[in-house]
Structures are given as structure tokens and as C-alpha cells.
Amino acid sequence: MDIKLKRRLAGGAVLVLLAVIFVPMLFEDALQHEASTMEPFPAQAVLQPPENAALPSVSAGPPASAAPKIPLPSTWAVQVGSFSSPDNARALVAQLKAKGFAAFVVQPAAGGKPLYRVRVGPVLEKERAAALGELIHKQTGLKGFVVSHP
């Protein structure tokens, strides 16, 4: 084979590889910018059918494993306590619910020392979770910290 032809083929292959590597990076920035400008779905909005609306019957469709997996948005919660006793965790949840907070207990993972974590939330935005933590501190005196939920 001619040496010039070999060099042209090698140069063409290098250009194709560089395009494969760097072109997706250009589109990735545009997608991140678009995602950051989109307004998240408000957590307070709950869709409910009218009272006298007839619900359609559910027919046997494709199995659940065939359904596409849609990633859920990450949410945030305020962790206000961590207990080794589930009774103590339930008591704090009851106290927080009495004050109007949406409190819940995160069960311990298998293995290791069991810790029952008491959290309030979840909310979609980290800033709102921080504001919720301040409100909890003002109303109950409990200092919490913002954690990712689940």
C-alpha cells in the first residue's frame, strides 16, 4: 500500500475518534443548561379525579418489567434525630406530626448497629429543605441537617 494512503487513513481514523469523544460533550452542556432552567414539579400539586368521575377499568397490559424505567428526581429531607431504640424514634415522629411536620422514620439497613433516623420532608429543592430545618429549629428546638432522600 502507498505510504500516503496509509497516513490519510490513519489521520481520518484519528479525526473520527476525536469527533466521537468531543461532540457529545458539546450536547451534554446544552442538556444540562436546559435541565437547570426547567421548573421542577411542585410537591404540593396532587392530581385527584373528580368525585363522580368514572375510573377506567385496568386491563392486563405488558408486565411491569417491560415498562421503561424513568429516573425520579432527587429529593431532600431534614434529619432531626437518630436513635438506637425504635420507640424513641416513634415518639419524636409523633411529636413532630403534632406540630404539623411530615415526619417519618428511616429503617436501619441490614447488618451493623441499627439506627432509626427521624426525618422531615421530603422536598424537591435543597434550599427549601434548609428553610424547613430552620423552621423546625424555631418551633421545636431540634437542630437538624439536610440529607438526600433516598
Domain-located, residue 54: no
Domain count, the chain: 2
Domain-located, residue 145: yes
Domain-located, residue 52: no
Do residues 85 and 138 share a domain? Answer: yes
Do residues 76 and 144 share a domain? Answer: yes
Domain-located, residue 124: yes
User: How far is it, in rounded angstroms, from Cα 99 to Cα 12?
Assistant: 68
> Residue 94: which domain range?
72-149
Domain-located, residue 34: yes
Do residues 95 and 141 share a domain? Answer: yes
Whole-prediction pTM: 0.51
Domain-located, residue 58: no
Note the pLDDT of residue 22: 80
Q: Which residues of the chain have pLDDT under 70?
A: 29-68, 70-73, 110
Residue 123 CB burial class (10 angstroms; 0-12, 13-18, ≥19): buried
Do residues 88 and 145 share a domain? Answer: yes
Domain-located, residue 50: no
